[in-house]
Amino acid sequence: MENLKYTEILQLNKALVGTIQSKPYEIGVLSNVTVNSFEEVLEYSCRLNQIEPKVEIGNFDNIVQDSVVLKNKDLIIIFYDVLNIVDQISEFFEDLEEEKYNNLKNKLFTEIDIIFENLSNTASVIFNSFSSAYYNNNNVQVSKIETFVKELNAYLEQKKTNNVSIVNIDKLFAHIGFKQSIDYRFYHSSKAPYTFAFFKNYVAAIKTVFLRNTGKLKKAIIFDCDNTLWKGVIGEDGIEGIDMSPTSKSGKFYHLVQRIAVFLSKRGVIVGLCSKNNDQDVLDVLRNHKDMILKEEHIVIKKVNWVDKASNLRAIASELNIGIDSLVFVDDSNFEINLIKEQVPEILTIQVPTAISDYPDLILKNIYTYFNSVLNSDDAKKTELYKQQFERENSKTAFNSIEGYLASLEIQLTVVKNDKVHMQRIAQLTQKTNQFNLTTYRYTESQVDHFMADKKHEVYAMFVKDKFGDIGLTGVCIAKEDEKDPKNVILDSLLMSCRIIGRNIEFVFVSHIIKDLANKGYQTLTADYIPTKKNAQVEGFYDKVGLSLIENIDVTKKHYSLNIANFEPKKVDYIKINTELV
Partner 1 sequence: MENKKIKQVMSAVFEIPVESISDDASSDNIENWDSLRHLNLILALEEEFGVSIPDEEVGNLVNFKLIELVINDILK
Least distance to partner 1, CB of residue 352, Å: 30
Q: Which of 2, 3, 7, 91 binds partner 1 (CB under 8 A)?
A: 7
Backbone angles phi, psi at 257, to 5 degrees: -65, -40
Helices 196-213 and 359-370 sit at what angle, rounded to 10 degrees?
50
Q: Which of 31, 32, 37, 326 binds partner 1 (CB under 8 A)?
A: 37
Least distance to partner 1, CB of residue 284, Å: 53
Nearest CA among 460, 461, 471, 498 for reference residue 409 = 471
Distances (CA, A) of 577 to 177, 411, 422, 475, 519: 58, 9, 19, 13, 17
Least distance to partner 1, CB of residue 34, Å: 7
Which residues are registered as beta bridge partners of 231?
243
Backbone angles phi, psi at 118, to 5 degrees: -60, -35
Query: Which is closer to partner 1, CB of 60 or CB of 101?
Result: 60
Fill in the DSSP letter of residue 571: P
Q: Which of 31, 34, 431, 433 binds partner 1 (CB under 8 A)?
A: 34
Collapsing DSSP to helix, strand or coil, 319 comes out as helix
Rule CB under 8 A: say whether 186 interacts with partner 1.
yes
- Total of chain residues touching partner 1, rule CB under 8 A: 17
Q: Which of 3, 5, 141, 158 binds partner 1 (CB under 8 A)?
A: 5
Least distance to partner 1, CB of residue 42, Å: 14
Backbone angles phi, psi at 205, to 5 degrees: -70, -35
Rule CB under 8 A: say whether 190 interacts with partner 1.
yes
Rule CB under 8 A: say whether 397 interacts with partner 1.
no
- How many angstroms separate the CA atoms of 302 and 183, rounded? 50
Least distance to partner 1, CB of residue 31, Å: 12
Rule CB under 8 A: say whether 223 interacts with partner 1.
no
Binding mask 126-165 toward partner 1 (x if CB under 8 A, else -) reads ----------------------------------------
Contact between residue 424 and residue 471 where contact means Cβ atoms under 8 Å apart? no
Rule CB under 8 A: say whether 567 interacts with partner 1.
no
Contact between residue 541 and residue 532 where contact means Cβ atoms under 8 Å apart? no
Beta-carbon-side half-sphere exposure of residue 52 (alpha carbons within 13 Å): 10
- How many angstroms separate the CA atoms of 17 and 9, rounded? 12
Query: Which is closer to partner 1, CB of 37 or CB of 208?
Result: 37
Contact between residue 324 and residue 317 where contact means Cβ atoms under 8 Å apart? yes
Rule CB under 8 A: say whether 59 interacts with partner 1.
no
Rule CB under 8 A: say whether 196 interacts with partner 1.
yes
Contact between residue 214 and residue 52 where contact means Cβ atoms under 8 Å apart? no
Name the segment binding partner 1 (CB under 8 A); options: 47-55, 182-190, 224-232, 332-340. 182-190
Least distance to partner 1, CB of residue 381, Å: 49
Q: Which of 168, 189, 311, 579 binds partner 1 (CB under 8 A)?
A: 189
Q: Which of 1, 6, 283, 319 binds partner 1 (CB under 8 A)?
A: 6
Which are the contacts of 140, defined by CB distance < 8 A and separation ≥ 6?
none
Contact between residue 509 and residue 548 where contact means Cβ atoms under 8 Å apart? no
Rule CB under 8 A: say whether 185 interacts with partner 1.
yes
Query: Which is closer to partner 1, CB of 5 or CB of 455?
Result: 5
Sheet of 348-351, strands arranged across: 301-305, 270-276, 220-223, 327-331, 348-351
Rule CB under 8 A: say whether 62 interacts with partner 1.
no
Query: Which is closer to partner 1, CB of 50 or CB of 195?
Result: 195
Interface residues with partner 1 (CB under 8 A) are 5-7, 10-11, 14, 34, 36-37, 185-186, 188-190, 192, 195-196
